[in-house]
Amino acid sequence: MKYRTIGSNPATRREVSVLSLGAMLFGTATDEKTAFAILDRYVEAGGTFIDTSDNYAFWFTGSRGGESENVLGNWRLSRGVGEEIVIATKLGASPLAPGTGYVDNPEGLSAAAIRAAVAGSKRRLGVDKLDVLYAHIEDPEVELAETVGEFGALVNEGSVGLLGVSNHWAWKVERARAIAKAAGLPAYELLQYQHSYLRHRTDLPSPLSPDGDLGTADGNLLSLLRAERDELTLVAYSPLLGGAYVRDDKPLGAGHDHGSAAARPAALREVAKDAGATVNQVVLAWLIGAEVPVIPLVGASSVAQLDESLAAVDLELTPQQRERLDTARWSGG
């Protein structure tokens, strides 16, 4: 396993594995026994960075979520897991009532909602302190200063380690960071967005915004990361596009309709053959070894699936292979 530092403050920064494990479906689509086996294998391989949310996975059960955090808490207790494993969770998108959703009825990012959500996550995970806490989705009903102030207070009180943000427009991320710095408070240091070798279109309206898909790492966000690479880290969710790179029954869909969809997939296949690796492994290696490194966040429903992703950590793309991938264009080779 390889590792990198997240966070810029010497007092709060952490060393984590360059591959993060997503626990979204643990306790719902993935039963606890299987989840434990996946978690054990991940840790055995040197993995130290696990991701969840307080709303995972409400859509399976009609609940408010919390199933994933419960499984992780049970696993921590049964294995005696301590500070060596960094668990990141999110708040703001848990439905306020069972049977509703995060679009029409989210818990939100008010100070009171944040306090209540943090208490619930700590209880389910069985911890006194959350290693990483993300603002999961935007809350247009709450002033940024209120959210930023509460997040910062939680860090200063010792309830939270590092702060992150997900599914926000880039300008809101930077405005929130500016508010925090002006107030002398800890700011967002981790950004969690969908990002992969094949870029998702951001112009299509989404359930969260009529202006486009604010959950995808677009040019504005990637430019921010490049400019603030000493302070910000991108954690990329769905880096393997839910299996669409390798499964014919998982089409890319309208979000990847860039006109011609041939050049970059062809480059992936060529590099995978040249490297003696799978297409998925090449995608993960491309992200990990990028000029501005990315931490891929991978899910797994079996140990075998996880092992394929773990092998990508040791895959070193040559300069020629990376150039082949970087220079491929949708409209041609």
Element containing residue 234 per DSSP (H, E): strand 233-237
d(CA 220, CA 204): 16
Within a domain: 178: yes
Within a domain: 225: yes
> The pTM is what?
0.95
Percent of the chain beyond pLDDT 90?
Answer: 85
pLDDT recorded at residue 263: 85
pLDDT recorded at residue 38: 98
Task: Provide the CB-side half-sphere exposure for 232 (13 A, CA).
Answer: 23
pLDDT recorded at residue 253: 77
C-alpha distances (whole Å) from 83 to each of 16, 22, 86 are 11, 18, 7
80: left (phi over 0), alpha (psi -120 to 50) or beta: left
pLDDT recorded at residue 7: 96
Within a domain: 299: yes
CATH at residue 14 = 3.20.20.100
Within a domain: 111: yes
CA–chain centroid gap for 75, Å, is: 21
User: Which stretches of the chain score pLDDT less than 50?
Assistant: 260, 332-333
Name 160's bridge partners.
130
Structural domains of the chain, count: 1
pLDDT recorded at residue 214: 82
**Phi/psi at 25 (nearest 5 deg)?**
-100, 5
Three-class SS of residue 45?
Answer: coil
DSSP code string of 171-199 = HHHHHHHHHHHHTT-----EEEEE--SSP
Within a domain: 176: yes
- Which amino acid would we find at residue 293? P
- The catalytic site residues sit at 56
Three-class SS of residue 87?
Answer: strand
Within a domain: 310: yes
Within a domain: 324: no
| Digit-coded pLDDT (tens) for 95-125 | 999 988 888 899 999 999 999 999 999 999 9
Three-class SS of residue 128?
Answer: coil
pLDDT recorded at residue 102: 85
Tokens of 191: 């950004």
d(CA 61, CA 99): 9
Q: How many beta carbons lie within 10 A of that of residue 73, not counting itself?
A: 21
197 contacts 324 by C-beta, under 8 angstroms:
no
Within a domain: 264: no
Three-class SS of residue 164?
Answer: strand
pLDDT recorded at residue 256: 77
Domain range for residue 196? 3-256+280-316
The number of residues in the chain equals 333
Three-class SS of residue 305?
Answer: helix
